[in-house]
Amino acid sequence: MKRVRFWGTRGSLPVALTASGVRAKVRAALHGASGRTFASDDELERYVDALEFPISGTYGGHTSCVEIETGSGEYVLCDLGSGARPFAQAAVARHGPDAPQTYHVFLSHLHWDHIMGMPFFGPAYLKGNVIRIYGGHAEIEAALRRQQGKPSFPVEMSIMPATLEYVRLEPGPVHEVAGMAVKVLKQRHGGDSYGYRFTAGGRTVVYTTDSEHRLVNPDETARFVDLFRDADLVIFDAMYSLADSISVKADWGHSSNIVGVDLCHLAGVRHLCLFHHEPACDDVAIERLLKETRRYEEISRSGSALHVSAAYDGMEIDW
């Protein structure tokens, strides 16, 4: 594995930066530059680079879609949220219409925010492409067809000329896909969800979203620690605060930054990436969450340091 690229990182519903949000960023950047001059574009770039991320950038608003570059020549995606659309545009632009590709797509579950990108998935409209969709649910094909059926969408899936295949993965055995060893774990979420552990070339990435941890069952905790064990990167649902996730939002099927750190520490993970951001959170709120999580990691650390990041649309993690 060479790289993980985030195309959609938001939970539940896509969100967009508003005009007032952009204005606040411009104001903050101009305020910081008050009285300064920039002798060159390079100097200006350095100033922008030094700004805090909520001023110079945005976490973005597409729902879940993460690409894992394996080096195998075939594409691997986790989930088909609205972030699948910019992924698809980039892939089609890269290869053109006459160079068929294979796309392996692992679905965490079939809730709308994780499949809403399928009707806009450009490679599905090109003959010769193979799109193989994996998941733990028996109803993957039915859910995708229903989403795209009348009266919800004008183009039925039966019209898509690419070859669409559906593969049900059972938790337990190790599956071989695109040169990777893939382990699957059922997670606590309404209608169930599935977490994935991908290993190739001595590197391991875990994708675990829409997963609630109740912290009451040691066996359940042990199963997740086993899934995370010594991973290089864990992409983790940190949608709510710990207090909310075990009180007013208990049974909503999501987790917290605190639980992410604790599980990663128990499992000896190297890098925790906070994911599936609450749509009500703006860039400042997510940045605060990141800083607090890094502080909690520092406080709670008893062994090696765990690097903590917060995913944003367009972020890449290289090795």
Partner 1 sequence: MEFSSLRFADVIVVAPVGRIDHATAEALQLKLEPLLVAAAGMGGALVLDLAKVEYVSSVGLRVVMMAAKHLKARKARIAAVALQPIVREIFEIARFNHVVELFPSLADALQELSAPARAAYDAGNGSVVP
Amino acid at 73: G
Q: Is 46 in the site for partner 1 (CB under 8 A)?
A: no
> Strand 102-106 to strand 75-78: parallel, antiparallel, or no bridges (unpaired)?
parallel
For residues 270 and 45, what is the distance between their CA atoms, to the nearest angstrom?
Answer: 31
Identify the residue among 239, 242, 267, 286 touching partner 1 (CB under 8 A): 242
Q: For partner 1, give the closer residue by CB, 10 or 213.
A: 213
Q: Per this entry, what is the length of the chain?
A: 319
Identify the residue among 72, 89, 221, 309 touching partner 1 (CB under 8 A): 221
Angle at 225 between CA 276 and CA 110, to 5 degrees: 40
Count of residues engaged in binding partner 1, rule: CB under 8 A: 23
Q: Is 258 in the site for partner 1 (CB under 8 A)?
A: yes
Least gap, CB of 213 to partner 1 (angstroms): 8
Least gap, CB of 248 to partner 1 (angstroms): 10
For residues 161 and 155, what is the distance between their CA atoms, to the nearest angstrom?
Answer: 12
Q: Is 292 in the site for partner 1 (CB under 8 A)?
A: yes
Q: For partner 1, give the closer residue by CB, 187 or 293.
A: 293
Mark residue 52 as left, alpha or beta (left: phi above 0; alpha: psi -120 to 50; beta: remaining).
Answer: beta
Element (H, E) at 205: strand 203-208
Contact status, residue 123 vs residue 92, Cβ threshold 8 Å: yes
Least gap, CB of 261 to partner 1 (angstroms): 8
For residues 286 and 283, what is the distance between their CA atoms, to the nearest angstrom?
Answer: 5
Q: Is 303 in the site for partner 1 (CB under 8 A)?
A: no
Q: Is 246 in the site for partner 1 (CB under 8 A)?
A: yes
Identify the residue among 18, 146, 156, 247 touching partner 1 (CB under 8 A): 247
Among 47-55, 70-78, 108-116, 288-296, the segment contacting partner 1 (CB under 8 A):
288-296
Q: Is 220 in the site for partner 1 (CB under 8 A)?
A: no
248 φ, ψ to 5°?
A: -65, -25
**Token pair in block for residue 214:** 């109740």
| Positions in the binding site for partner 1 (CB under 8 A) | 214-216, 218, 221, 241-244, 246-247, 256-259, 262, 266, 292-293, 295-296, 299-300
